[in-house]
């Protein structure tokens, strides 16, 4: 939507570290289509490339791109109550959970506002899209609401595009080809002199390389 083809999901909570891969599968497998339910081609393929990491990991991997390179929407997720009691130890006068919140608040602000600088390498353009979702805690109810939100969002996007989010024909071709290759591997294991004559040249090269044990 809005011309963006990529979306990042950034939870500032390590127990949600598997959330982004889950939403990646939910969104990309459901809405990665280019044909409507009526069989008409879409003007542009539907679905976005979804990825993500827990907040502080993301800041030191791809946030450079987000701030000064190619813009893409980011959904930040914060949790008010930590899953575990905080240790009495504080670094710079704050707890680890408060440190996460400091970054959760600052990153969207930096994306939106940017920063002027005479040194162009230190200039931040700002006006970069993001949204923030806040959970009370990590209880089943709160996490369930979060998952329901993404499920509803996925279906709603599909309705807008006019596609069926409940089929995944795109994964079938690769599975069929893998089945054919699996049969060839089984024949080779059974008959050492078996040649991969029914395979295309690229597949034959890969299989011959596999059984030779070297390039």
Sign of CA dihedral 205, 207, 211, 215: positive
pLDDT attached to residue 157: 94
Residue pair 96/32 in contact by the 8 Å Cβ criterion: no
pLDDT tens-digit map of 51-64: 999 998 999 999 99
In this predicted structure, the answer to whether residue 130 has a pLDDT above a threshold of 80 is: yes
- Catalytic residue, from 60, 120, 190, 214: name it: 60
| CB atoms near residue 63 (< 10 Å) | 21
pLDDT of residue 85: 77
Q: Out of 29, 99, 153, 188, pick the active-site residue.
A: 29
119 alpha carbon, distance to own chain's centre: 33
Question: What's the token pair of residue 2?
Answer: 């809005």
pLDDT bracket for residue 78 (50, 70, 90)? very high
29 is catalytic: yes
What is the CATH code of the structural domain delimited by 6-167?
3.40.50.10490
Mean local confidence (pLDDT), 159-181: 93
Q: How many alpha carbons fall within 13 Å on the CB side of residue 14? A: 7
Q: Which residue shows structure tokens 């044990």?
A: 213
Respond yes or no: is residue 60 known to be catalytic: yes
Say which DSSP state 197 is in.
Answer: T
Catalytic residue selected from 40, 92, 118, 175: 175
Is-catalytic flag, 175? yes
Residue showing tokens 């030779």: 212
Token duo for residue 85: 């009691």
| DSSP H helical ranges for 114-200 | 140-161, 172-190
């Amino acid at each position: 939507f809005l011309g963006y083809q990529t979306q990042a999901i950034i939870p500032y909570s390590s127990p949600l570290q598997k959330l982004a891969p889950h939403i990646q599968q939910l969104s990309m497998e459901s809405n990665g289509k280019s044909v409507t339910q009526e069989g008409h081609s879409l003007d542009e393929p539907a679905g976005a490339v979804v990825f993500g990491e827990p907040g502080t990991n993301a800041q030191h991997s791809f946030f450079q791109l987000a701030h000064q390179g190619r813009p893409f929407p980011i959904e930040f997720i914060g949790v008010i109550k930590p899953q575990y009691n905080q240790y009495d130890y504080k670094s710079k006068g704050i707890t680890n959970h408060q440190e996460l919140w400091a970054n959760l608040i600052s990153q969207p602000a930096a994306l939106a506002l940017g920063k002027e600088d005479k040194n162009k390498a230190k200039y931040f353009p700002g006006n970069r899209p993001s949204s923030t979702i806040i959970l009370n805690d990590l209880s089943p109810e709160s996490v369930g609401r979060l998952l329901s939100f993404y499920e509803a969002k996925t279906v709603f996007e599909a309705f807008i595009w006019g596609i069926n989010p409940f089929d995944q024909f795109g994964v079938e071709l690769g599975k069929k080809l893998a089945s054919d290759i699996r049969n060839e591997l089984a024949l080779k294991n059974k008959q050492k002199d078996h040649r991969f004559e029914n395979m295309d040249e690229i597949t034959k090269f890969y299989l011959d390389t596999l059984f030779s044990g070297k390039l």
